[in-house]
A and B are shown apart, each in its own frame.
Chain A
Amino acid sequence: MIHLILIDGSLAAIAAIGFAVISNPSRKAIAVSALLAAIGHGLRFALIHYAMLDISMATFVAASCIGLLSILFARIIHCPAEVFSFPSLLPMIPGLFAYRTILGLIKFMRTADVIKSQGFMLDFVHNGLTTLFILFALVVGVSLPVLFFPKTSFSVTRKY
């Protein structure tokens, strides 16, 4: 159980590093985002598989955990929180669900069979809603701490 979570976390860390460098943050921020991604994604994996939460709820918990930790780290390395909290969310972006949504839509358009097309429509709505809810869960979760402690989160780059 523990080793599965660890594998999941470290894969997420590699993914976070790769997606972070596209947006060119500082080296310290890359290291922190890898750590946060590992914690967040590992937590989500554990919640889905051992606490039987559904994926959007688990994402919400993981994202708020990332949000809280990111404010802590932001105070330590004097860097706006979103610089490393955004890249650490990227491994949780529901890319596979988005892909299946579009695929469902394409299949629906190309079939003439009524029974089959109902199934494809169901796929499209299910995957599309999952994509949307995960996305909202990610952003609301990560910005909850910012909404609770606005002063702290906007003054982390202050050096005194």
Chain B
Amino acid sequence: MFFKQNSMINQTNQKEPNIQEIADLLTDIAAELMTSGAHTMRIIQNISRMAATFGYFIELSVFQQSIMMTITNKEDQLNRLTLIKKTKPLLLNFTIVSDLSSLSWDTFDKNLTFEEIINRFHDIVVQKRMSRWLVLLLVSCANASFCALFKGDIYGVGLVFLATLAGFFTRQEMIKKHINHLIVFSTSAFVASLLAGLGYVFHWGITPEIALASSVLFLIPGVPLINSILDIIEGHVLTGIARLVNASSLIVCIALGLFVSMLILGLEKL
């Protein structure tokens, strides 16, 4: 029985894929692009290019939580399907954006079979990320050099390095445990600024206020902010505003964490 089913599946795969299979694959790819931090225009371009290869055209609406797509056969316009797919929360991954974009061109140029596209899509999605310890080290160096860019002295740079190390480690651990994003951001900001604020308390160096201010800057959601403005410019106003509100609420959370540690250290009268 099982073998019979298996061979039947193989037979159907060798045939032209039907509209349901194509729609499932395309919404999966669109959701993955949204999660990895592509802007709306790129998602629409990539997906319509792939649909065109199979002889379909699509209308796509991208929202923060879900993706809505209608796929229509070019020859037989009555043969159409509308799907809504929920997207996962944002986890930036530009390797996936880049690889999926080149997959969409390969589909278009090399006429890949449906089977090959699915295999390559799965290979792209399961790729390993960079080691978290290396990321931790590089982010700490980056934030320390940020402090130097704002003309902080050597004590400030050292302090910011340690503060970022602690703050980003907190963030990694909390994200691993799937805690609410807003709480993750305010707690990491609290940890980082508490350490950096020690410079104020013990009068290390001459620019403790720059160290305090730049200690939380590694949390600023830069890519979502840029994406939101880009979406608004390109006419996807609703998605752009949703991204902007998300990013702004994260910034308010960072400020909250910073403010709590300033209260604890007695720096609120600055």
A residues neighboring B (CB under 8 Å) = 8, 11-12, 14-19, 21-26, 29, 41, 78-80, 82-83, 86, 89-91, 93, 95-96, 98-100, 102-103, 106, 110, 135-136, 138-140, 142-143, 147, 154-155, 157-160
Contacts and interface: CB of A to CB of B under 8 A. Distances in A.
Given A79-B98, A139-B226, 8 more contacts: A17-B138, A19-B142, A22-B92, A24-B92, A89-B222, A90-B223, A95-B214, A157-B104
A19 B144 CA distance: 12
A15 B157 CA distance: 13
B217 A95 contact: yes
B71 interface: no
Instruction: Tell me the dominant secondary structure on chain A's binding face.
Output: helix
Given A11-B145, A90-B222, A96 B97 contact: no
B264 to A, nearest CB: 15
Contacts of B223: 23, 86, 90
B229 A91 contact: no
A25 B95 contact: yes
Contacts of A86: 222-223, 226
B204 interface: no
A110 B268 contact: yes
A17 B142 contact: yes
Interface string B16-57: 000000000000000000000101001001000000000000
Contacts of A103: 270
B93 A23 contact: yes
Contacts of A8: 149
A41 to B, nearest CB: 8
A91 B130 contact: no
Q: In this complex, which of B101, B105, B142, B213 has the most chain A Cβ atoms within 10 angstroms of its Cβ?
A: B142
Closest 10 CB pairs of A and B: A18-B142, A23-B92, A139-B229, A157-B102, A95-B217, A25-B94, A102-B255, A14-B145, A158-B105, A90-B222
Contacts of A23: 37, 92-94, 223
Interface of B: 37, 39, 42, 45, 92-95, 97-98, 101-102, 104-106, 109, 129-130, 134-135, 138-143, 145-146, 148-150, 213-214, 216-218, 220, 222-223, 225-226, 229-230, 233, 251-252, 255, 258-259, 268, 270
B106 A159 contact: yes
A3 B152 CA distance: 18
Nearest to A17: B138
A102 B250 CA distance: 13
Contacts of A21: 130, 134-135, 138-139
Nearest to A7: B148
Contacts of B226: 86, 89, 138-139, 142
A159 B222 contact: no
A17 B37 CA distance: 18
B229 A14 contact: no
B213 A82 contact: no
B145 to A, nearest CB: 4
Contact of B220 (A17, A98, A160): A98
B184 to A, nearest CB: 14
